[in-house]
A and B are shown apart, each in its own frame.
Chain A
């Protein structure tokens, strides 16, 4: 087991390195650079920057150097934990991300808990009571949840929130609490703002998971070992939860790899629409403004989380499903 983990860790390092290379190359693909984006932004707000001025900025930001040189310089800093200063924000990248990180994680974790908390029981119920009224109702809702783009849902919820209840959604704090230091009132304010984005975030995932859980469990329920268990007189509850449900959980465990990066940036579109101060919109805006250091740090972070998540999910799978074995057949 230990050699396996060590080997995986070694591979993970190589993968992460490859991610840094690919990240850097991809970020160079769109036309222009941060200075171009900056000039475009300035002109759109009625300000003027001359071509020579733009060149001077390139020198100041080191954008005139060859790509490989920028890469080596950046990697050298990253290894020592220095992610540099965001061009657009004029602050250290770690601070810019850090500001938003914990709210993002809070929101995403909440969404995951809601997703799983709803999807697992409903999926099990739908499978066990296949073609019952309840199954049909959940299936219908599930398909609607799958089919509705959640940004649209977010817009609709926001509009009616304002229209009917005079609640202004968007953001995670009311304007009067935004600047206030942490207090009970502020926590309550946050608690008041959190559920709606959380639900909107969770809904499509829930619908999807319900369908997966239902299909998997239906497969398992027809297996001979279930019939055997029933024949042996095990109580129904034990028959279902001890064996088929456990087997049906495999796909859940294998998707944990994607859950980790999701907690950080799984909600870009929703966050932009609802104007949530999370990492998602930051990634989007840094890509648009070609803020290299900020964008590559976020992407690197997502890459690392994916790698770690994949490792974790592999380990978890082995634990849940003893049928999975290490190594190759010789």
Chain B
């Protein structure tokens, strides 16, 4: 077992005085970091919505001007919509040109590009992530009864091939893609408030309306969120999923049997090397793979993602301009270079090989990243997140395999004691270099759904004495000769298993530290490191005690609830059987008997019919229960651990001091990379 011995060598190394000294000095540095200007103010370009202030004439990039001259492209006035998106860039009007160099890890890393393409969403979020703002839609109306939602598109907007982008593209998606069970086998709950399917209709060329049977105020948030309906074409139609609310019908119809015949499209599929037309369609509608696909975002793929270089080029029909009338984006190209592993990507980043990179940059490397700032000619920014827990211990509430373990996992005082047994400061200093916020999993205080500052510390501070007292009180007072508490059924040591997979942060190492801290409260935790697939399928089979993940995205609870409450069977780490029960409307899975979980579900279900204030109040109530019950034990959060360590070349202009680092902001999407430029 050479692997084992190597690991133990590293473990010994980590515990050596030299290594500890290294960590200590890093920590000392980190304490200064928090106050060192690495964390700036949230900012971004300003959207000009008053038509009187819009530019009257337009300019374009030199590479497009050449095409216009050659007669291959209509002039810029005809390409920009009559109602464009107008940006006042953060600092100044930029210059055209250049290729933005970035790293990606291969065809599985599509999100890397989807996010910078995210101005193809129906609606987006303001730079600080707090307000819904226009995007491809210039606005929306919500009827007083919450049963009608109307989206207003921009007049004269076009796809990247020049074809008009209208309400027909929404109807095409709804009728031909979404309602075709061969392409979309199950409807998204987002289109079925209270299980009742909604309708999408065209009002006129630039107006689409959604009709619901029940009040559905939440839909405004969904259309702006990173959701099935609001995510935009790039992410929601890449890979093999087919949501996104609209699709380029004028292009995709040729691949669908409805518009020719089943034989014809299947024959074409065979000829192009696909097994059937559905597979062909999945390829054709994927902007990462198909260079011919019309898109709406600032760039389009010219060299697909399945190459060592994924290359994007400007969309000549992009719908946004700056206040001087320059059609955006400023960058001609975006060039993603393959890095087979994260070490290499981080090393290249230090060498200044990337112009802007926040994805795949490792917080643990912060000291070296800072050391190489001047050599690599870049600046490091830390973009703090808003989610409460970057490292969340989710206790499986629907666990059944071992009744004794189930008894304790479902015991609130047991979970609270586990939480009180965690030294969050030690975790923060060691793995977050001190830049995270220790405490409960509740979202950051600046978020509208935060339940109040007193819920940050509730059950979420180190208190070994209290934890021991609680564990004794619930019947776990007996200990074995090594000081570990024993099971009440057979007197053997109580062993709680933590499953950790390597993702975002070094979860297995973090878990080991927690397991070590729990020795003081007499709890034996066995950390099991698993490969990702294995870990995920273990949780799907309801076979885990505690599973480690983060709760990124739960800061807007209704848009991404799955890591806060068990409502979605896909990753219901907190109770797979319960998640299935909720999602299936009670036809599958198991109904929980915990009244608190049922209360949470009621509040959650009710919220979709409430206006924003009511929704946020419900979310606060849910968070109060979650923090009090400790189904998910929060440790450290609101940190830059995920997508928050941003390296930006000093050559770039209009760069925000801090960008909204959150799932709904599509980091760095709502910082609008189309307004960044090369200063020289």
Identify the A interface with B (CB < 8 A).
Answer: 30-32, 36-53, 55-57, 60-62, 85-86, 88-92, 96, 99, 149, 155, 158-159, 162, 166, 168-171, 175, 178-179, 271-277, 281, 285, 288-290
Contact = CB atoms under 8 A, between A and B. Distances in A.
A44 B239 contact: no
Given A49-B241, A53-B241, A178 B337 contact: yes
A60 B240 contact: yes
Contacts of A50: 186, 188, 570
Interface stretch (B63-71, B124-132, B268-276, B515-523): B268-276
Contacts of A171: 337-339, 344
Contacts of A88: 107-108, 306
A287 to B, nearest CB: 10
Contacts of B307: 99
Contact of A55 (B185, B289, B306, B552): B185
Given A273-B343, A288-B531, 5 more contacts: A43-B570, A50-B186, A60-B278, A90-B289, A277-B338
A102 B658 CA distance: 44
B391 to A, nearest CB: 15
Given A96-B306, A170-B344, A290-B533, A52 B311 contact: no
Interface string B158-199: 000000000000000000000000111110100000000000
A236 B78 CA distance: 87
A56 B243 CA distance: 14
B344 A273 contact: yes
B277 to A, nearest CB: 10
27 contacts: A32-B534, A36-B537, A37-B532, A37-B533, A44-B503, A46-B111, A46-B560, A47-B241, A48-B560, A48-B562, A60-B276, A89-B306, A90-B304, A159-B347, A168-B347, A168-B351, A170-B347, A171-B337, A178-B337, A179-B311, A272-B341, A275-B339, A275-B341, A285-B108, A288-B531, A288-B532, A288-B533
Contacts, number: 157
B558 to A, nearest CB: 13
B425 interface: no
A275 B552 contact: no
B536 interface: yes
A21 to B, nearest CB: 23
A175 B353 contact: yes
Contacts of A36: 533, 536-537
A170 B339 contact: yes
B570 A48 contact: yes
B337 A32 contact: no
Interface string B497-534: 00000011000000000000000000000000001111
Given A30-B533, A60-B276, A90 B306 contact: yes
Contacts of B182: 56
A181 to B, nearest CB: 13
Nearest to B183: A56
Chain B, interface size category, equals 35 or more
A44 B552 CA distance: 11
Interface of B: 6, 101, 106-111, 182-186, 188, 226, 228, 235, 239-241, 273-276, 278-279, 282-283, 286, 289, 303-304, 306-309, 311, 335, 337-341, 343-345, 347-348, 350-351, 353, 375, 503-504, 531-534, 536-538, 552-553, 560, 562, 568-571, 663
Interface centre among B107, B283, B311, B533 (most CB of A within 10 A): B533
B533 A32 contact: yes
A53 B185 contact: yes
Given A158-B347, A168-B347, A274-B344, A48 B337 contact: no
Nearest to B541: A31
Nearest to B108: A41
Given A60-B276, A158-B347, A274-B344, A179 B188 contact: no
A91 B282 CA distance: 13
Contact of B344 (A37, A44, A52, A275): A275
A289 B108 contact: yes
Nearest to A277: B308
Nearest to B111: A45
A137 to B, nearest CB: 28
Contact of B569 (A47, A51, A90, A175): A51
A290 B532 CA distance: 12
Contact of A48 (B184, B534, B568): B568
A102 to B, nearest CB: 13
Which of B276, B338, B339, B340 has the most C-beta atoms of chain A within 10 angstroms of its own C-beta?
B340
A119 B599 CA distance: 73
A184 B303 CA distance: 23
User: Chain B CB within 10 Å — which of A30, A47, A155, A162 has the most?
Assistant: A47
B534 A39 contact: no
Contact of B537 (A32, A168, A178): A32
Residue with the greatest number of chain A CB neighbours at <10 A, chosen from B109, B306, B339: B306
Given A56-B185, A92-B273, A43 B571 contact: yes
B205 to A, nearest CB: 31
A277 B183 CA distance: 34
A-B CB proximity, top 10 nearest: A52-B186, A56-B185, A45-B111, A275-B344, A168-B351, A89-B306, A170-B344, A275-B340, A31-B537, A40-B536
Contact of B343 (A60, A99, A155, A281): A155
A271 B536 contact: no
Contact of B275 (A62, A149, A275): A62
Contact of B235 (A37, A47, A91): A47
A48 B228 contact: yes
A39 B536 contact: yes
A271 B663 CA distance: 33
B496 to A, nearest CB: 23
A36, A50, A159 — which one has the most chain B CB atoms within 10 A of its CB? A50
B665 to A, nearest CB: 11
Contacts of A61: 279
B225 to A, nearest CB: 11
Contacts of A277: 308, 338, 340
B389 to A, nearest CB: 15
Nearest to B281: A60
B108 A179 contact: no
B273 A170 contact: no
Nearest to B350: A162
A273 B341 contact: yes
Contacts of A38: 239-240
Contacts of B353: 168, 175
A49 B350 CA distance: 35
A163 B337 CA distance: 22
B240 A285 contact: no
B18 to A, nearest CB: 18
Contact of B309 (A30, A32, A49, A179): A179
A238 B638 CA distance: 75
B308 A178 contact: yes
A271 B350 CA distance: 20
Nearest to B571: A43
A276 B340 contact: yes
A274 to B, nearest CB: 7
A160 B375 CA distance: 14
A47 B560 CA distance: 10
A52 B240 CA distance: 12
Nearest to B341: A272
Most chain B CB within a 10 A radius of its CB, from A43, A90, A170: A90
B76 to A, nearest CB: 27
Contacts of A90: 107, 283, 286, 289, 304, 306
B443 to A, nearest CB: 16
B600 to A, nearest CB: 20
